[in-house]
Each structure stands twice: as structure tokens, then as C-alpha cells.
Structure 1
Amino acid sequence: DHAALPPSPHARALVEVQNGCDHSCTFCIIPAGRGPGRSLPAGGVVERITALVAAGHREVVLTGVDLTSYGADLPGVPTLGHLVERILRLVPDLARLRLSSIDPAEVDDRLFALLAHEPRVMPHLHLSMQAGDDLILKRMKRRHSRAQAVSLVERLRDVRPDLAVGADLIAGFPTESEAAFENGRALIEECDIVHAHIFPFSPREGTPAARMPQVDPLLVRERAAILRDTAARVRRNWLAGLVGSVLSVLVERPGDTGQAENFAEVRFAARREPGTLISARITAAADDHLIGDIE
């Protein structure tokens, strides 16, 4: 029963709306461990979020193993876009809705429009890219091309310039050549990926990728370090570009830090109650966060 959750000291809540996966990426063991894709009916999601908002949460993050496949197993086959629309309509007091990692191949027109134009959907897109080279993407059995991922980011930024992009990227996937690696590194710069999660490839027993010709482990670690360095530089430049702007920040514990809509961390001197939404003028940028004055 979600009707009467106790008051929460946390500003943000995670709501899992989907679990499992019906795809067969060659490096992944999730389908074997989590089973097929399963979605929580929209009514249960809305009930849960309504209770969380009543308990004091200002932001909800929708999560799932394969979030953008939401609804494929439900009657009527509603999409993630349908779910987001329903949440925004039926929970008007929810200030912020954020999406966790989504698949570039599954962003339909409805979801695109919400990401592009809906102010309560945060301008923060985390993409499950995994690689930036078409041959490697094919060997991973991913369902998008490099050009499709780049195009999605460009089209969204055309209509929502403040969009901050994150991505998962694997370094040293089996058979990765220097040229393929460079395509992945360049993707970080082309898409201005400011929230990067870099993983050195590690074979999982029983997966097709574990049987492919492996890249030397030392080279895998070296390539992962290069990707992290590139991502850190792109992030520093992005943060520096935000100095002088005014951002809406959701205060989190202990009260002198928070997250902007674009998921940049903002720190400030004066404490505010966690869960408060403030306006902060950004006065400085560090390597991994911003410093601001409350307006």
C-alpha cells in the first residue's frame, strides 16, 4: 500500500517500472539472470509516484533494465512515452521527472516530443550507447548505428539546447581496432557527452563476446583511461560554460548541495532544507561540480 508513506529526507526517488530484457547483446548476461522484459502497469506506477510526492519527494527517476521497452508486455502495448504522459497528467504536484538509461533505438516520436518540449521532464538524457563504431556495435548486437545515436542527440539539442547527455561506453570490446576505438573516443566529443560511464570490457562466462578474439587486458585498461580522460575534459568544458548562468537546483542532503535540471552537481554556502527547489547563479566551476549563490 503506497497511500501513506512516511515523510522522506530524500529529495529524489527511484521508481522501477521495468525489469528483464528481451534482447541478446553479445556481452550481457542480464537476460539469463533477470528473465524476459516485464513492465509495471501504469496504474501502479502512478499510485507509487503519488505516494512518493505526498511523502516529500520532488523528483522521481524512472528506472528499468531496458526502460525504453516499457509496455511491450502489457495489454494495448503502451510505450514509455504514454507512461510519462500519464504520470505528468495524473501527478500534477510532481516537480521533476527524470529518465534513467535509455536505448537510442527505442526513442519514438512521443518520447522524443516529451524530452524536447516538456519542462517537467529533465533535460538530461543518458543513452545506452556502449560503442561508437558501427562494426563493434554490430558485433555487440546493438540495434542502433553510430549515425542514429549522433542524430538523436543533434535533433534533441536543436529544440532543447540545454540538454545534457550521458552515455555508457565499453572500452576494449573483442576485436576492437585502433580505428574502432578512436571512433568511440570521438563520439564523446561529437555528442558532448558530459555524464559518461566508462567500462573496461570484461568477458562474462557463457556470453558470445567471451568467445570472440579478446583485446589484451593491458590495452583494454589503457583505452578505458583514455576514454575517461576525454570524458573528463568534455565535462570540465561543459561545467565552465555554465558559469554565469542561473540554474534551478533541487537541494539534497545535507542541505548545501543539489542537482540542477541537467544533473550537474551544484554546491552553495547557505544551507537549505533538502527537497527545496532554489535558483542558483553559478559563480565557479570545479572539475566535477559547480559553485553557486542562491538567488
Structure 2
Amino acid sequence: MTVQVVSLGCRLNISESEAITTMLQGGPPTVVVNSCAVTAEAVRQSRRAVRRLRRENPDARLVVTGCASTIEAEAFAQMSEVDAVVPNAEKLETRHWTQGNVPPAGLSQRHTRAFVAVQNGCDHACTFCVIPQGRGPSRSLTIPEVLRTVEHQLALGVAEVVLTGVDVTSWGGDLPDGPRLGALVSAILTAFPALPRLRLSSLDGVEIDPLLLDLITTEPRVMPHIHLSLQSGDDMVLKRMKRRHTRAQAIALVEQIKARRPEVAIGADLIAGFPTETPEMHASNLSIVQACDVVHGHIFPYSPRPGTPAARMPQVLPAHVRARAAELRIAVAAQRDAWLKTLLGKPAVVLAERDGTGHAGHFASYRTPTGAVPGSLVTCTPTRIIEGLLE
């Protein structure tokens, strides 16, 4: 082992870990934990990763970066297993990783798709979230900067580019003239007509601009898979979260998208057991799964984060939080199972992964043909579903 970078949490971390890996090449044995702090459990997982990696690599330099290491910098610095802590805001600075002032050689190709970070940070103040403390205010890459990165990835042969960020739909707000995300997506598609697939990571529905909506619903190279940052299906909970959309707005957006492009698969983040959530509010949260046809669900049991307003609100009993999270997962699984059955017998273009599976444009998982080259696009026509995998 010379270099090992372990990513926890979001796709943005994955993208940043690619750059860190490249900068570490040629240096001494180094292990990096790119940590996450989105929940208390994520911080615990980051600590466990540090301890495990130290046991597995007793002689390597072990460095922690990421949101958890910034929000709880002192706690990570005091861990006996840790040699250094790099603040999140500095994690892509060459000086922390290279021997001397050597510029990074670019992103490495370790995945079948390329995660391209177009934005970082967040200007919003959701009452449950500590990520702005770890990432800072929203900062956008310019269109030329993004195009250079996409061009590099296409030169490596990737067939799918995923645009990532902390709050991707806020892209451009800090740039001159305040362009919207639709302008960036349009620029990428125009500059690279041979790019087969462009996918968008988690979107805030209220920030989807008209051009972006048009591209999502009419451009075949934009993947029919939209992951929405819903967080709850209850209006009172959304208000207490300081989210900027209502239940009705979320449902209307999904209905509009599906009316224009029915094959779009909807994903969503949903929090179970937010403070003050009553059984009736939980029922509203459960019902949003069917109302928005959520087939890709990320369910988060609420856990209080010190320093956030929600941590000071009346808390739901932990047993109730766990039970509600389980009910949400069951609801999403039922919605997903019904959707997967509609895909049987229908050919789909699938991006092959290294483990013999792959994802179609709508992000359903398929078993790929024997011998399929990782990173290639293959056509699959499933006849059965085995443990959520189309075969």
C-alpha cells in the first residue's frame, strides 16, 4: 500500500478524493479519511474508519480531512491514530499532499463514471444541518473551469459525467451575472456532443431554473434520474427545517417532470423523526413517497447535531425515530419494487461496473452480460428481479 483515500458521505467527497489521490502519487505511504458529518452516525463512521485504517496500516501517515474533521477538528486531532488534520476548505491545496510545490496531474480514473464538482459550500440555514460549518459559503466553478475538467475526463474514456456539489442547483449565484445551472448543463452538452451521458446529483427543487427543467425533460443525454432534496413531506416540519418549498410544490414539480418525460425516476432525501414531528406529520412524510413516486430513497433517522437550531427543539424519542425510519424504508421499497416490475422485458442501456452489474439512465441496477467491459455501455433486457437487481 502506497496511497489509500477512503471517502465517506457525498459524491462531492468522491470527486475530491480523486484529486487527493492524484496529488499523493509518488509520495510516502499515506492513508486519508475524507470524512462526513451529515449525521452523528456519519461522524461515528468516520472515527471507526480512522481506527480500522490505522490497524491495517500501522506505518503509514494517516490524515483526516472532510466535514467531520473541520466541525470536530480538535476531537480528530486528539485521536492517537491521526497524524494530521487538513481543514475541508484546504483539502484540494497541493501543499498538504505533495512533496514540494508540485501541481496535481489531474483527476485519476478510478470509477466507471466521473464525478465533477462544480460547486462547493452552502448559503442556506436548514435547522438540522451542520454542513455549511464544514464547507463554508457557496462557491461556483466557472463554465470554462468545468469544461476543462469534463474534457479531461472524456479523454480518459468515461461514458458518464455526474455533476456534484453541496448545493448543485445554487451553482452560478456567486459568479458575474449570476448564471443558473441550466446554462452550465447547456454549455457542457454543446461543447461535448459526443458525451453519452450527463447525470445530475441532488437538486433543490425550488432552484431548478426553466432551462434546466427543459433539458431534464427533453435532452436524451441528460439522464432520466432526478434526486430531490425533499427532507420531509409535511409542511409544518418543512417550515421548522427552514426548507424553502412546500409539499404541494414538490408534488407539482414531480408531476410536471413526469408529464413531460414519464421515464424519469425520482429519488429523494427524507429525514425520519425530525424534532416536534407528530404521528400525523410522520404520516404526511410517509405519503410523500407515493405522491412523488420516490423509487430511490435516502432515509436518514434524525440525529441532533450540536450547534444547530433543531438540536434545541423538543426531540422525538429515539425508538420512535428508528421505527419511523424503518416505515419510510418499507414505503420506498414497495414503490421501488412496483417500478422495477414495469422494467421487465424492456431493453435498457446500462453503464457496466466492475462487479458485473451496472446502472441504466434511470439508475436502476442491472446484471450485465458476462465479459462486459467496465465503463462501457451495454444493452440489457431483464426477465426477472433478484434482490432488487434486474437480470
- TM-score range relative to shorter protein: over 0.9
Per-residue deviation, residues 30-70 of structure 1 (Å, max 9, x unmatched) = 11221110001110100000110110111010001010000
2:384, 2:133 → 1: CA distance? 47
Give the alignment of 1:170-185 within 5 angstroms: 170-185=271-286
- TM superposition shift of 1:2: 9.1
Contact 1:170 1:201 in 2 (8 A): yes
TM-superposed deviation, 1:244:
0.9
Percent identity for Structure 1 against Structure 2 = 54
* Correspondence for 1:236: 337
Give the C-alpha shift of residue 277 in structure 1. Answer: 1.1
> Aligned to 2:348, what secondary structure does the other structure show?
strand
The CA deviation at 1:288 is 1.9
Structure 2: which 5+ residue stretches go unaligned?
1-102
Match of 1:277 among 369, 374, 377: 377
- Number of equivalenced pairs: 289
| Cross-structure match for 1:142 | 243
* Alpha-carbon distance in 2 for matches of 1:40, 1:79: 12
Runs of 4+ off more than 4 Å: 1-6
Q: CA deviation at 1:4?
A: 7.7
Taking structure 1 as the reference length, the TM-score comes to: 0.95
Aligned to 1:208: 309
Kindly indicate whether the alpha-carbon contact (under 8 Å) linking 1:11 and 1:56 is maintained by their aligned counterparts in 2. Answer: no
Q: Residues 222-276 of structure 1, C-alpha deviation per residue, up to 9 Å, x if partnerless?
A: 100110111111111111111011111111214x321100001100342211121
Partner of 1:289: 389
Structure-1 residue corresponding to 2:208: 107
Higher relative contact order (CA 8 A, sep 6+): 1
Change (3 A) 1:3 1:214: closer
C-alpha spacing 1:55/1:5, structure 2 compared with 1 (3 Å) = farther
Taking the aligned partners of 1:108 and 1:151, their CA distance within structure 2 comes to 15
Q: Does 1:96 align with 2:197?
A: yes
Equivalent residue letter for 1:39:
S
1:28 aligns with 2:129: yes
Aligned to 1:245: 346
Distance 2:166 2:308 in 1: 18
> What is the CA–CA distance in structure 2 between the aligned matches of 1:51 and 1:5, rounded to whole Å?
8
Greater C-alpha radius of gyration: 2
After TM superposition, give the deviation of residue 152 of structure 1 in Å: 0.5
Q: Is residue 268 from structure 1 mapped to residue 372 from structure 2 by the alignment?
A: no
* Match of residue 42 from structure 1: 143
Counterpart CA distance in 2 for 1:2 and 1:128 is 33
User: How far apart, in 2, do the equivalents of 1:203 and 1:5 lie?
Assistant: 35
Aligned counterpart, 2:120:
19
Further displaced range: 266-275 or 101-110: 266-275
The CA RMSD over aligned residues, in Å, is 1.5
**What displacement does 1:11 show?**
2.0
Task: Determine if contact 2:234/2:247 at 8 Å carries over to the other structure.
Answer: yes
